Amino acid sequence: MNVHPSLLPAFPGLHAVRQALDAGVALTGCTVHFVDAGVDTGTVIAQHEVPIHPGDDEVGLQERIQAAEHRAFPAAVRRVVRGEVAAPPIDGAPPSDGARPIDGAPPIDGAPPIDGAPTDGGAR
């Protein structure tokens, strides 16, 4: 998953906030999307709008977009966890690598534990 500072598909790539200001649009925001082989072209999970005010500069607008990102990303994670949106398959992806939650749960797919991973439920 990736967070991008525009309402994709508008203003993909670098300097999205500057692109929005230069284009003179009245509304921008942020997009949480799945990553794919393209540049900011993955399936959209969530978007939050941020109005552009007269006199906005890149720094101030970026700060407001970041505040929206802090709301959008957890909302997107909840949608994925609840199964409301599924990640598209990744061509050529290997099978599960045995990753597991840090709460000490057994490994996924019977894979051996990951060396150095905490087993006491604590993050390091």
pLDDT digits (tens, 9 = 90+) for 14-62: 999 999 999 999 999 999 999 999 999 999 999 999 999 999 999 999 9
The structure tokens listed for 87 are: 């990640």
Mean pLDDT value across the chain: 83
Beta bridge partners of 28: 50
Domain holding 40, by residue range, is 2-81
Please check whether residue 98 lies inside any domain of the structure. no
- Is 101 inside any structural domain? no
pLDDT at 110 over 80: no
Query: Which CB contacts under 8 angstroms, 24+ apart, belong to 76-81?
Result: 76/1, 76/32, 76/45, 76/46, 77/1, 79/45, 79/46, 80/1, 80/45
- CATH code: domain of residue 43: 3.40.50.170
* One-letter amino acid for residue 114 of the chain: I
Q: How many domains does the chain have?
A: 1
Whether this model's pTM surpasses 0.75: no
User: For this structure, is 70 an active site residue?
Assistant: no
> Is residue 90 in a domain?
no
Q: How many CB atoms lie within 10 A of CB 8?
A: 20
- C-alpha to C-alpha distance for 54 and 37, rounded to whole angstroms: 36
CA distances for 110 relative to 93, 96, 122, angstroms: 19, 10, 22
Residue 107 belongs to a domain: no
Q: Tell me if 33 sits within 8 A of 72, measured CB to CB.
A: no
The single residue of 4, 33, 48, 70 carrying the catalytic annotation is: 4
The number of residues in the chain equals 124
Does 70 fall in a domain? yes
Q: Is residue 102 part of a domain?
A: no
Q: Is residue 124 part of a domain?
A: no
